[in-house]
A = this chain, B = another copy of it.
Amino acid sequence: MKIITTIKECISYLETCSRPLGLVPTMGAIHNGHKELIKAASKNNSTIVTSIFVNPLQFGPNEDLNDYPRKIKADLTKLQGLPIDLVFLPSTEEMYPDNFSTSINVGPISNLLEGKSRPGHFNGVATVVCKLLLITTPNNVYFGEKDAQQCLVIDKMVKDLNIKTKISKVPTVREKDGLAISSRNIYLSKSERCSATIIYKSLVLAENLYLQGVNKPKLIKNAMSKLIKSVPLAKVDYISIANPSNLKELGVLEDNALVSIAVFVGKTRLIDNIYLKRIP
């Protein structure tokens, strides 16, 4: 497993690698979710690159950029046993030199849900992912479904800008009690960690209501909201039941829907989602 910190060396190393090439972009704090991405990548690629880069552009001024877990040594140890050829580990200055000023906006979809709660977030995501894709030129890139809107934003960018990479989405990995695995879970105190299970429970509730034939998103949202309110440490940021392609809120449930939720558990903001599909 080679470790490279400069863009120039990364490009040069990958010029002669065997194809297909798979990229798994991460912000470090490697967990089982990332491992599933790498596992998925290893099935379809001859060369696997993992990037570790905490991207300042996607954090708002009052967000957790400074607190975001950075554990490079532990990360590299965790990655050692996995089928990875290259870890691309650039510094902030390497990715964003002093006069860096370009930004990519993918349009309306980036202003909903996470984009509404975190203005500018998806411009930062799109910009860094574009850079990573153009530096490493992978055939395939892997993202987790936990960040469903991020997948849509990147999908849009790749299509609109004619980037020659196929995007693969990997199902959300969960703890035994259902909590979606996230680098931010380490922020949770013991009681918050316990309270956080309500997030997935609310999604399962949504699915059950849907399967029972409730077709008014409003009723489902109210039930989810009520459930979460029963947990004192949890506070809903948003609940959305939307068209999974364009994230437009649904007035009546259709055959496909994406239920997305953002919840503050103490000071920690967590997101999760579930796809609703009519069983044929």
Q: Residues of A at under 8 Å CB distance from B?
A: 7, 11, 100-109, 126-127, 130-131, 134-135, 156-157, 160-164
Q: Could you give 26 example pairs across A and B, Cβ below 8 Å?
A: A7-B162, A100-B160, A101-B108, A101-B109, A101-B156, A101-B160, A102-B104, A102-B106, A102-B156, A102-B157, A102-B160, A102-B161, A103-B105, A103-B107, A104-B104, A104-B161, A105-B105, A127-B161, A130-B161, A131-B160, A131-B162, A134-B134, A134-B161, A134-B162, A134-B163, A135-B162
A162 contacts across to B, CB distance below 8 A: 7, 131, 134-135
Q: Bound complex: CA of A185 vs CA of B163, how far in Å?
A: 36
User: Could you tell me the distance in whole angstroms from the C-beta of A122 to the nearest C-beta in chain B?
Assistant: 11
A101 contacts across to B, CB distance below 8 A: 106-109, 156, 160
Q: Bound complex: CA of A107 vs CA of B123, how far in Å?
A: 13
> Lowest 8 A-B CB distances belong to which pairs?
A101-B107, A102-B160, A134-B162, A102-B106, A135-B162, A103-B105, A131-B162, A104-B104
A127 contacts across to B, CB distance below 8 A: 161
Which of A11, A109, A160 has most B Cβ within 10 Å?
A160
Q: Bound complex: CA of A109 vs CA of B101, how far in Å?
A: 9
A131 contacts across to B, CB distance below 8 A: 160-162
Which of A7, A102, A157, A164 has most B Cβ within 10 Å?
A102
Task: Give the nearest-CB partner of A101 in chain B.
Answer: B107
Task: Give the nearest-CB partner of A153 in chain B.
Answer: B102
Q: Bound complex: CA of A107 vs CA of B104, how far in Å?
A: 10
A105 contacts across to B, CB distance below 8 A: 102-105
User: Could you tell me the distance in whole angstroms from the C-beta of A242 to the nearest C-beta in chain B?
Assistant: 16
Q: Are A104 and B103 in contact (CB under 8 A)?
A: yes
A103 contacts across to B, CB distance below 8 A: 104-105, 107
User: Could you tell me the distance in whole angstroms from the C-beta of A58 to the nearest C-beta in chain B?
Assistant: 16
A107 contacts across to B, CB distance below 8 A: 101-103
A163 contacts across to B, CB distance below 8 A: 134
User: Could you tell me the distance in whole angstroms from the C-beta of A195 to the nearest C-beta in chain B?
Assistant: 38
Task: Give the nearest-CB partner of A160 in chain B.
Answer: B102
Q: Bound complex: CA of A6 vs CA of B113, how far in Å?
A: 35
